[in-house]
Every structure is written in structure tokens, then in C-alpha cells.
């Protein structure tokens, strides 16, 4: 029997409550090491301290180079990806994936690559698609995929995308996951690998973002650009789960690419609105100067240009007031059948 003693968990919006529920039900004798990624951004976070108050297992912020030990819960710190080597955990500041750092996918991807069938991947409440590609990698390597029942999640986007593109071996409410983990983990040593087992870590971005060999297919450059840096994207597929990667290393699941494009549309309209307002102000000032200098021809031209800028700003403002820049996020409208 395979001891599933590496448990990786990803969550975003609404995920803190789901993680509390999960940890509350875990026994301190659980024969597995637990690693958590919660979308906390770059600011200082008290997530580990808060979660420690709900867990019978010690919850600590992950430390670079620390050994992997069962019976412990490690939380990714702000502004760092948490990744797993064979003997230890690592923290990196590689490019954002799915628009965030820490991201779920790097943890899941490296867990699958280095720990194979001993991995249990869990997707909890959140929006968009972070963790979907990583969960597919876990399943491809023989690990177990667990997804929170969307109706049980405060925000069902991440569970829905995981079910649609990666599938799941178990789909259940968070309260039922602790018993499942006990069944999957069985028994095992408190230290999965001794510290001197070696971990051949290369801190370069290429190492941080390597793919699971043999499971990814990299296609030619796509006619799309990266929402983060504007670089050319390549579509990568893992089974039925497509996502996009630029040459810097920014990665986007379909839902996150969808959201990134809409954010860029809103940003472009905001720049246009600001520029039109500034142009109207410039025209007003130049018209005043022309009036003071008795330059009738210049005055008429500047006033006409100012009127045009204000009219266009009015039209643009109507689009914004109609929520035109925030249409339905297509990747989040899919309902997963029971």
C-alpha cells in the first residue's frame, strides 16, 4: 500500500475558513507532512499563527531548506513560492503564476515531480484556476486529487476549474477530508528523507519552473501576450488542462488568463479616460492663453479640440458606468454536474 505522506493544499478567496475546518479535523499523529498555499500576496501575513490556533498539528511558516517531516503543517510565506525537493522544501521568488506569488501550481507541480504517487493534492475555496494544472500533474504521477465540493466552498471557482480540467479522485466537503487523509496516509516515518539525502537544488528560474518531464507539451508561440509583462505566450497543455507561459515564466490557467485580459481592458480604458481629461485641461489652458493674446484662430482651434476631448470622455464614461469593462468572466460560468 502506498503511504500518501505528502499533502499539498491550495486555496484563495474564502480559503482561510476552509483550511481551518480541514486542520481542526486532523489528528496530531497524522503520518503525513502538510504544505499550504493561501493567496496572501506580498504583505506580512499572520496566517501560520492564526491557523496554529485551530490545529492539533504544529503550524509554522515554511523555511527555505527545512527538512520534510510528517506531523507538521508548513504555510507558504508572503511573496514566495513554496516548492518541494526530494529531501526538503524551498522558497523562491520566481515569476508570479496565475497572477500571484505564492501560487498553488509551483507547490503542486514540484510535489508531483519529486514525490509522485505519495502526494495528495487538495483544492479548496477560491476564484479562477490556480492549482488546476498542478493537480493534473499530481494525478498524472499517480497521486490523489481531492477537490472541495463546489457547493461547500465560499467561492467555487477554483474547485470548479479543477474538476473541469484536472478531474478529481475525491470530491467532498472540507469536513470529510480529515478522515480521508487518515485513510490515505497510513503510517510512515516522522522524517520522510534524512537531511543528508541531498537535494541537488539549482536556484535558477529554469529550475524553479521546470515541467514534469514527459507530461507537458509546449506548442509554438501563440498570438496572445502576457497580461503581466506583455511578452509572447506559449500555450502549454497537461492532459485537458491548457495554460499559458511567457518566456519570463509568468504562467496562467485559462481562468486567470481570462481575468488578466479583462483587467488589461479596464486598465486601457482608465488610461484613455485619464488622457482625455488631461487633453481637455491642456486645451482649456491653451485657449485661455490664445484669448489673452488675441489669437482668435488659435482660440477657436483649442476650444474645438477641448470640446471634442470632453465629448469622447463622456462617451467613455458611459461605457464604464455600464460595467462594459467587466463582462461575465467566461471561465467561471461553467457549472460542474454532480
Report the catalytic residues.
Answer: 12, 39, 130
Q: In this structure, what C-alpha cell is assigned to residue 249?
A: 515564466
Collapsed DSSP state (helix, strand, coil) of residue 109: helix
User: For every residue of the chain, which 3-state class applies, written as one string?
Assistant: CCCCCEEEEEECCCHHHHHHHHHHCCCCCCCCEEEEEECCCCCCCCHHHHHHCCCCCCEEECCCCCECECCCEEECCCCCEEEECCCEEEEECCCCECCECCCHHHHHHHHHHHHHHHEEEEECCCCCCCCHHHHHHHHHCCCEEEEECHHHCCCCHHHHHHHHHCCCCEEECHHHHHHHHHHHHCCCCCECCCHHHCCCCCCCHHHHCCCCCCCCEEEEEEEEECCCCCCEEEEEEECCEEEEEECCCCEEEHHHHHHHHHHHHHHHHHHHHHHHHHHHHHHHHHHHHHHHCCCHHHHHHHHHHHHHHHHHHHHHHHHHHCCCCCCCCHHHCCCCCC
- Taking Cα atoms as reference points, which of 258, 232, 253 lies closest to residue 243? 253
- End-to-end CA distance of the chain: give it in Å, rounded: 30
**Integer Cα distance of 277 and 310 in angstroms:** 7
Helix boundaries (H) for 98-245: 104-115, 132-140, 157-165, 177-185, 205-208
Amino acid at each position: 500500500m502506498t503511504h500518501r505522506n505528502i499533502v499539498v493544499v491550495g486555496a484563495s478567496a474564502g480559503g482561510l475558513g476552509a483550511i481551518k475546518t480541514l486542520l481542526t479535523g486532523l489528528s496530531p499523529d497524522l503520518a503525513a507532512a502538510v504544505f499550504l498555499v493561501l493567496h496572501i500576496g506580498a504583505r506580512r501575513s499572520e496566517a501560520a499563527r492564526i491557523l496554529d490556533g485551530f490545529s492539533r498539528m504544529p503550524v509554522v511558516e515554511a523555511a527555505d531548506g527545512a527538512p520534510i517531516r510528517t506531523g507538521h503543517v508548513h504555510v507558504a510565506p508572503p511573496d514566495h513560492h513554496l516548492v518541494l525537493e526530494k529531501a526538503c522544501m524551498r522558497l523562491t521568488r520566481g515569476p508570479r503564476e496565475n497572477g500571484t506569488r505564492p501560487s498553488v501550481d509551483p507547490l503542486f507541480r514540484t510535489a508531483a515531480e519529486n514525490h509522485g504517487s505519495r502526494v495528495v493534492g487538495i483544492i479548496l475555496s477560491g476564484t479562477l484556476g490556480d492549482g488546476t494544472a498542478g493537480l493534473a500533474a499530481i494525478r498524472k504521477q499517480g497521486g490523489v486529487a481531492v477537490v472541495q465540493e463546489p457547493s461547500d466552498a465560499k467561492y467555487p471557482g477554483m474547485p470548479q476549474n479543477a474538476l473541469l480540467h484536472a478531474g478529481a479522485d475525491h470530491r467532498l466537503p472540507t469536513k470529510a477530508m480529515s478522515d480521508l487523509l487518515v485513510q490515505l496516509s497510513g503510517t510512515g516515518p516522522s522524517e520522510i528523507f534524512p537531511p543528508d539525502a541531498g537535494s541537488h537544488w539549482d536556484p535558477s528560474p529554469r529550475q524553479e519552473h521546470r515541467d514534469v518531464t514527459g507530461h507537458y507539451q509546449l506548442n509554438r508561440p501563440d498570438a496572445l501576450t502576457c497580461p503581466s509583462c506583455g511578452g509572447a505566450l506559449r500555450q502549454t497543455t497537461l492532459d485537458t488542462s491548457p495554460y499559458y507561459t511567457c518566456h519570463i515564466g509568468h504562467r496562467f490557467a485559462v481562468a486567470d488568463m481570462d481575468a488578466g485580459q479583462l483587467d488589461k481592458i479596464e486598465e486601457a480604458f482608465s488610461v484613455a479616460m485619464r488622457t482625455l481629461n488631461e487633453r481637455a485641461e491642456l486645451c482649456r489652458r491653451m485657449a485661455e492663453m490664445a484669448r489673452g493674446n488675441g489669437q482668435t484662430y488659435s482660440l477657436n482651434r483649442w476650444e474645438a479640440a477641448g470640446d471634442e476631448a470632453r465629448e469622447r470622455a463622456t462617451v467613455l464614461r458611459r461605457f464604464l458606468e455600464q460595467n462594459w469593462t467587466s463582462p461575465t468572466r467566461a471561465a467561471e460560468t461553467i457549472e460542474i454536474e454532480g
